[in-house]
Structures are given as C-alpha cells and as structure tokens.
Amino acid sequence: MARNGGATYAGAALSGLTVLEQRLRQDLEWLELPAKPWVPERAAPDGRPVADVAIVGAGMAGLAAAAALRLDGVDRLRVLDRAAEGQEGPWVSYARMETLRSPKGLAGPALGLPALTFRAFFEAQHGAAAWEALGKIPRGMWMDYLNWYRRVMAVPVENGADVALIRPREGGLIVLEMCTGPEVLCRRLVLASGRDGLGGHFVPEMARRVDRRFWAHSREEIDFAALRGKRVGVVGAGASAMDNAATALEAGAASLDLFVRRAELPRINKFTGIGSQGVVHGFAGLPDEWKWRFLHYAGSAQTPPPRDSTMRVSRHPHARLHLSSPVTGVREVDGALRVETPRGAFTVDFLIFATGFKVALDERPELALIAPHIRLWRDRFTPAAGQESEELAFSPDLAPDFSFQEKVPGECPALARIHAFNYPATLSHGKLTGDIPAISAGAKRLSRGIARSLFVEDRETHFERLVAFDTPELLGDEWPARGVSA
Ligand SMILES: Cc1cc2nc3c(=O)[nH]c(=O)nc-3n(C[C@H](O)[C@H](O)[C@H](O)COP(=O)(O)OP(=O)(O)OC[C@H]3O[C@@H](n4cnc5c(N)ncnc54)[C@H](O)[C@@H]3O)c2cc1C
C-alpha cells in the first residue's frame, strides 16, 4: 500500500514523490496516455529534421502546452528557453513576493491529472497535515513544482536556447534562427514567451531621459543590497509595486515613497471574482464588443495588490503611500532624483517603475519579420465611446487556435501556423494564458487546435494510411460455408 512521506510501496521503502510518480504513471496508463504518436514525420528538403511543434518558452505556459501536446500524441517537440535550467519564468528571478497570490488549491497546469497537481506534489513530500497548515504557496516552491512537472511529464526543454529570429519558409515550415547553435525547423510554432513575450515592460517616456543609474523597471534585475540606507521611490499600485517596495524596505532602504495615480488602492479583484468554467470556456464565444466590454471594465477597476504584500510594506514606519500622485516629471538634481507629482515634489535616490507590460511587436527582435503582418484588435475594431484602451487595442486578434491572423490576407500565410500562447491572448480567448487558474484549459485548447490543423494539412498521408491499412479483424472463417450464399 502506498502512503505519504517515507512510504512503503510493494514492500520497498520509497519516498513520497517516488510513490506519487508511480501513481501518475499508473493514472496515465489507465487513461492510455500519452496517446500514440500520429503525426507523419517530416524532413526539410535538405534532410534536416523538422519538429511538429516548437515552443518558445519553458515557463508554466510552455510546459503545459508541451505536456498537452504529448498527451494528444504530438510528440516531435522542441521546447526552447533562453534561461538556465530551473530559472525559467519570473519565479526565482524578478518575482519578489513571498508567496503566490493564487489560492494554494488551484489545479493549475495539471491537465486534469490529480497526481500532477501542486497539492499532490506538496502532500507527497510533507503530508496532508502540512497541506492544511499551508497558507499560500511559497514562490520558490512553485518553481520546484514546475521543475518536477517538467521531469515527470518528460518535457524536452532545451535551456540556453535563445530564439533570435522567426523566419517563415516555403513548404509550410518555420525556421528559428538561434542566438547560438543551429537553426530549428518546425511546422507549428507556439510563443509561450511570457507576459512581455509580444513586447516589453512599460516605462513612461519621461524616465528614458534620466540616467539609468537612478531607476529600473520592476521586471529588471535590481541590486537591492545597494539600496540600503537609500531613499527609494516606487511607482504603481499593483502586486509588483508592493513586492518591490517591500524588498527595498527589507534590504534596509532609509525611506520608501509609493506613488499611486488613483485616489485609493483598488480593493476588489473583479475578474477573478467572477471566475468559473463558464468564463473559461465561454469568453471566446462572446461577440467582440462584449469581450472588449468585460476586459475594459476589469482593467479600469484594476487588480488590487495582495493584502499580504500590502501589509509587508505598511508595517514599516518609514514607508509612505502617496495617493492621487501620478508622477508628472522626473529629473536629476544634485546627484538624486526629483519626482514631481500634483501633490508635491519628492527626492529619492532610486526609483522603481512597477508600471506593467505592453504589447509592442517591434520591440521583440525575434518577431521582426512577422510583426508588420500581425493583425491587432485596433486594425479592425472600434470600441464604444468611453471604452477606449490602448492596452486592449494593441492585443493580437487571434484565431480560435491562438494563431495570429494576417493584417492583409495573403501577405504572410505562415501566421496561421504561429500561436500566441501568452498573456496578450486574453482579449481574444479570455484569461487562459497568463495566469495559473485556467492554464490547463488554455493548453488543451491550443493542443487540440494544433492537432486539428496538422491532421488537415496531412490529409493525403492519412488517407493513404487508410487505404493501405489491411489488418483483418475477421479472418474469413467465422461463418460456416453451408450458410453462405454468394
Ligand atoms: C511577479 C509575478 C508574480 C505572479 N504571480 C502569479 C500568481 O500568484 N498567480 C497567478 O495565477 N499568476 C501569477 N503571475 C502571472 C503568471 O502566472 C506568470 O507570469 C507566469 O510566469 C506565466 O507563465 P508563462 O509561461 O506565460 O511565462 P514565463 O513564466 O515568463 O515564461 C516565459 C519564458 O519564455 C522564455 N523566452 C522568452 N523569449 C524567449 C526567446 N526569444 N527565446 C527563448 N526563450 C524565450 C523566457 O526565458 C521565460 O522562461 C505572476 C506574474 C509575475 C510577473
């Protein structure tokens, strides 16, 4: 019998995780998963191998996409990430929160497999009582989980693999030029390249005129130890603003000024509040004006910073919250930074912009050849008066399988083979790509869409297989000759 922690299984002492992995293997076997591979092998005219699907990014979305494709029998995969192994995504780099915001029980990228959930991973190591006692998931532990997920689902990640340029090629192929090493050829490409995967982090123009030693974006590496004894400012009111402010304070900042545009901190997490399987599966079916209306409303209401993160800042007496204080100017004065707001000017030694991300296709070198052809929402949709939003307008206008669509039909047909599986897909698909809660639903939608298009593209080969298949089920001797008239 298997049981948690220091378990015995079939008489042998096995660790909790080993037992869990055995259970996962058993569950997959009972479900006959992964499905048998069915995509005909392709090679380039020069003989080079061609992946069925290449995935740029091995963060949570890239791992879930790869695992879903493998379960669906699409297994000639290349999963490429520029980060070192175990460093993918934000969790152990620029994320500065103590725990995840999400409730611990979310099934996340588990793809419907109970033994693949974070809870199973946690309980296998620490037991059910520890699960009950756990508040939220420590961020490093979430990274450990993703590392485990990658191993048990046999996702073939190649680390240190930086995609420099995506080049469509004749014959339905896509070439990935790598910063180092040989090109990768594939038939379908998934961009699971993260929140900034179709652009970059957003910084107000005024900051760009100031020397870089005075400021950073929260997405960047920041030497917090160097902020000890310094006056630090943070711009923004979201989770990252609080987490960066708290990290600076804990590193010994002399003072912390938090500049917030709004008259009060947002308190209600609107879109998460109405989360349901209806939203997950229904959003993509909404008429355009309703998709826009939902996200415009949720965006205007803004997501509050987590309570824990906010109190991690407010407990420091030298942290000050400046509401109704949009930063209207920043300039260097006597070796420090003067931050202007309608409520007064403040002097800081270092300013952190926790001002989020944007879609800016021309800022991603790897998209240079395809970016001019990608249709955005603003190319075909005009919002109702009062619902204008630059963020939404620049969202890519995606097809039901997450693939890009052309601005001008016929100018870049390869876009139908390139799938945007990252946060900017939200306006087209709902929140299936950027966050933990519905990432499995997103990965399954993506995988089924790719399976469908590969099958359709290979229809001649599949028809030939149909014609050639000659394994009999009846052997011809089932019916005695006396009862047959021909
Ligand atoms: C600080 C922070 C905290 C968050 N906390 C939560 C939370 O509590 N709950 C929740 O639901 N969501 C949270 N999110 C949102 C979301 O879950 C994360 O952003 C998550 O990392 C998204 O996964 P991803 O795979 O889309 O992107 P990422 O994890 O960012 O992975 C993208 C990967 O792509 C790679 N890459 C990009 N471009 C290239 C290229 N050209 N070549 C090779 N590799 C490339 C990167 O190296 C990176 O590893 C948080 C986000 C942030 C930023």
Model pLDDT for residues 285-301, shown as the tens digit of each residue: 999 999 999 999 999 99
Backbone dihedral angles phi then psi of residue 120, each to the nearest 5 degrees: -60, -45
Judged against a pLDDT cut of 50, whether residue 4 lies above it is answered with no
347 and 400 inside one domain: no
Identify the CA nearest to 59 among candidates 27, 37, 92: 92
Judged against a pLDDT cut of 90, whether residue 479 lies above it is answered with no
> Is the C-beta atom of 341 inside 6 A of ligand 1?
no
Q: Pick from 322, 339, 355: which residue ends a domain?
A: 355
Look at the chain and count its residues: 486
pLDDT one-digit tens code per residue, 400-416:
999 999 999 999 999 99
> Is the C-beta atom of 309 inside 6 A of ligand 1?
no
Q: Compute, in angstroms, the gap from residue 121 CA to the centroid of ligand 1.
A: 21
Atom 49 (ligand 1) nearest CA = 88
Judged against a pLDDT cut of 90, whether residue 483 lies above it is answered with no
What is the number of structural domains in the chain?
2
> Is the C-beta atom of 434 inside 6 A of ligand 1?
yes
Confidence (pLDDT) at 485 = 82
> Is the C-beta atom of 367 inside 6 A of ligand 1?
no
216 and 168 inside one domain: no
Rounded distance between C-alpha atoms, residue 247 and residue 460, angstroms: 59
Residues of the domain holding 316: 203-267+304-355
Q: Compute, in angstroms, the gap from residue 456 CA to the centroid of ligand 1.
A: 32
Say what the alpha-carbon torsion angle 354, 424, 190, 184 is, to the nearest 10 degrees. -50
In a domain, 159, yes or no: yes
Q: Compute, in angstroms, the gap from residue 263 CA to the centroid of ligand 1.
A: 30
In a domain, 224, yes or no: yes
Atom 2 (ligand 1) nearest CA = 95
Who contacts 39 (Cβ-Cβ below 8 Å, separation ≥6)? 52, 73, 74, 75, 76, 454, 458
161 and 97 inside one domain: yes
372 and 339 inside one domain: no
Q: Pick from 355, 370, 393: which residue ends a domain?
A: 355
Of ligand 1's listed atoms, the one at least distance from the Cα of 95 is: 1
DSSP track, 124-168: HHH-HHHHHH--S-BHHHHHHHHHHHHHHTT--EEET--EEEEEE
> Is the C-beta atom of 81 inside 6 A of ligand 1?
yes
Region 58-78 average pLDDT? 98
In a domain, 16, yes or no: yes
In a domain, 274, yes or no: no
Region 2-31 average pLDDT? 74
106 and 181 inside one domain: yes
Confidence (pLDDT) at 397 = 98
Q: Compute, in angstroms, the gap from residue 431 CA to the centroid of ligand 1.
A: 14
Regarding beta strands 7-9 and 12-14, do their DSSP bridges make them parallel or antiparallel, or are they unpaired?
Answer: antiparallel
Indicate which CATH number applies to the domain containing 213.
3.50.50.60
Q: Compute, in angstroms, the gap from residue 325 CA to the centroid of ligand 1.
A: 30
148 and 247 inside one domain: no
Q: Compute, in angstroms, the gap from residue 181 CA to the centroid of ligand 1.
A: 24
Atom 33 (ligand 1) nearest CA = 57
Q: Compute, in angstroms, the gap from residue 96 CA to the centroid of ligand 1.
A: 13
In a domain, 47, yes or no: yes
Average pLDDT value for the chain: 95
Q: Are 269 and 329 in contact (CB under 8 A)?
A: no
Alpha-carbon torsion 279, 284, 287, 291, what sign? Answer: positive
99 and 149 inside one domain: yes
> Is the C-beta atom of 102 inside 6 A of ligand 1?
yes
Confidence (pLDDT) at 11 = 46
24 and 164 inside one domain: yes
- For residue 320 the two structure tokens come to 């000050």
235 and 256 inside one domain: yes
pLDDT one-digit tens code per residue, 42-58:
999 999 999 999 999 99
pLDDT one-digit tens code per residue, 418-474:
999 999 999 999 999 989 999 999 999 999 999 999 999 999 999 999 999 999 999
**Which residue out of 82, 92, 183, 272 has the highest number of ligand 1 atoms within 8 Å of its CB and is therefore the one to mutate?**
82
Cis-peptide, bond into residue 45, ω within 30° of zero: no
> Is the C-beta atom of 108 inside 6 A of ligand 1?
no
pLDDT one-digit tens code per residue, 74-133:
999 999 999 999 999 999 999 999 999 999 999 999 999 999 999 999 999 999 999 999
Name the pTM for this structure: 0.95
